Chains A and B, each alone.
Chain A
Amino acid sequence: MAGFLDRVFGRVNSKGSGSTAKERLQFILVHDRINLPPERLQAMKEEILAVISKYVAVNSEDVDIALQQRQRDSLIVAEIPFTRPHEDIEKDDPDTPQESNRILD
């Protein structure tokens, strides 16, 4: 679960505990501000993915849905690479869909 939110904040090159404090605060506040428990966040991510997957092919491992702060506004930022229109997948050999997705990466 942490990875879902963690990725926004690239690990800062931490010299002293001051930068650790800042990093920890950014993570704490993003959760405080959205005020949703981790299970709800995970459920939201899965629902977003389910909707997108109805239209295009998505490899869930490449998906990045994260919370971000822009000044005092909170954003949900999603980066969802898709490989091809859904109808093409249906024509695929059912045994090797993952392989053909990877080629396009």
Chain B
Amino acid sequence: MGMGGKVVTVTSGKGGVGKTTATANLGAALARMGKSVVVIDADIGLRNLDVVMGLENRIVYDLVDVVEGRCKLRQAMIKHKQFPELYLIPAAQTRDKTAVSPADMIQLTDKLRPELDFILIDSPAGIERGFRNAVAPADEVLIVTNPEVSAVRDADRIIGLLEAENKGPGRLILNRVKMDMVRRGEMMSADDVTDILAISLIGIVPEDENVVPASNSGIPVTLNENSRAGQAFRNIARRLNGEIVPFMQLDEGGGFFQKLVRLFAGGNGQ
């Protein structure tokens, strides 16, 4: 493990479970806590993180330009509008994953570590080159999944691969939990999923209608005080920073009334 900043890779196996959303929001939440952060889009060919962060029209250089020496590292780091210590290194849109190697990623993050508190890497879906690039420099891996059979199955595969590379087991972000469905027994609970995967949980993010408008406007949802998903990402950011933050009812998306019901029902406030 290198000196200085911590490299955290966000991965999943299955696509569309919320890696990019999580990376953007954890970056913004950590920056809001006063941390210096760079988020790296390792999904070469399918650039996305720039859009979710609202930085797409400022891109001049990208990750592949840095790796191939066409620009200085600093030139590819796009500064966020709101947080002067939040940066994005975008993915190349017109290249493929083989343009970058795991060794390149280790070299790049080693240069970033002394200057930043957190280096967050948004991994592409899949278990091939792009995944290996994203995971190679990681000090910690966050696995994003949804409470659905196929997403959990793919998360298990990823956890197995991480263990084989001594990068595991990582911590789990369970995203898009619909508490009303969990209560009706029509969706697996966080307990069900952690039971099956046998890894520890770093956060439960509820399904939240604020997420899509937030990416529509390029303002991470965690900057919206009223969003429950936003609150969940703020909690995860604090846990990443080593703070002990209890898993609150909010994480499950339960309101005040539901909190009471669960208390009287002897629920164990996850």
What mask results when residues 176 to 201 of chain B are scored 1 for a CB within 8 Å of chain A, else 0? 00000110111111001001101100
- List 20 other contacts, CB 8 Å, given A16-B184, A26-B196, A29-B196: A15-B185, A17-B185, A17-B186, A18-B187, A18-B189, A18-B192, A19-B185, A19-B192, A21-B147, A21-B187, A22-B192, A22-B196, A25-B149, A25-B153, A29-B153, A32-B153, A32-B156, A32-B157, A72-B169, A72-B198
Interface residues on A, range: 10 to 19
Contact, CB under 8 Å: B198 / A69: yes
Residues of A within 8 A of B157 (CB): 32
Answer whether residue B115 sits at the interface, using C-beta atoms and an 8 A cutoff: no
8 Å CB contacts to B: which residues of A3-26?
15-19, 21-22, 24-26
**Interface SS majority for chain A:** helix
Cα-based distance from A16 to B187 in the complex (angstroms): 8
**Would you give the shortest CB distance from B170 to chain A, in whole angstroms?**
11
Cα-based distance from A16 to B169 in the complex (angstroms): 30
**Would you give the shortest CB distance from B132 to chain A, in whole angstroms?**
20
Contact, CB under 8 Å: A33 / B160: yes
Answer whether residue A98 sits at the interface, using C-beta atoms and an 8 A cutoff: no
Cα-based distance from A25 to B147 in the complex (angstroms): 11
Assuming A71-B198, A72-B159, A72-B169, is B188 touching A21 (CB within 8 A)?
A: yes
Contact, CB under 8 Å: A16 / B186: yes
How many positions in chain B have a CB within 8 Å of any CB in the partner chain? 24
Closest to A15 in B: B185
Q: Which residues of A approach B to under 8 Å, CB–CB?
A: 15-19, 21-22, 24-26, 28-29, 32-33, 69, 71-72
Answer whether residue B165 sits at the interface, using C-beta atoms and an 8 A cutoff: no
Cα-based distance from A29 to B156 in the complex (angstroms): 8
Cα-based distance from A17 to B199 in the complex (angstroms): 23
Contact, CB under 8 Å: B156 / A22: no
Contact, CB under 8 Å: B199 / A72: yes
Cα-based distance from A69 to B159 in the complex (angstroms): 15
**Would you give the shortest CB distance from B151 to chain A, in whole angstroms?**
10
Answer whether residue B152 sits at the interface, using C-beta atoms and an 8 A cutoff: yes
Assuming A25-B149, A26-B196, A71-B198, is B160 touching A18 (CB within 8 A)?
A: no
Residues of B within 8 A of A28 (CB): 149, 153
Q: List 17 A-B contacts (CB under 8 A).
A: A18-B181, A18-B182, A18-B186, A18-B188, A18-B192, A21-B147, A21-B148, A21-B188, A22-B195, A24-B149, A25-B149, A25-B152, A26-B196, A28-B153, A32-B156, A33-B160, A72-B198
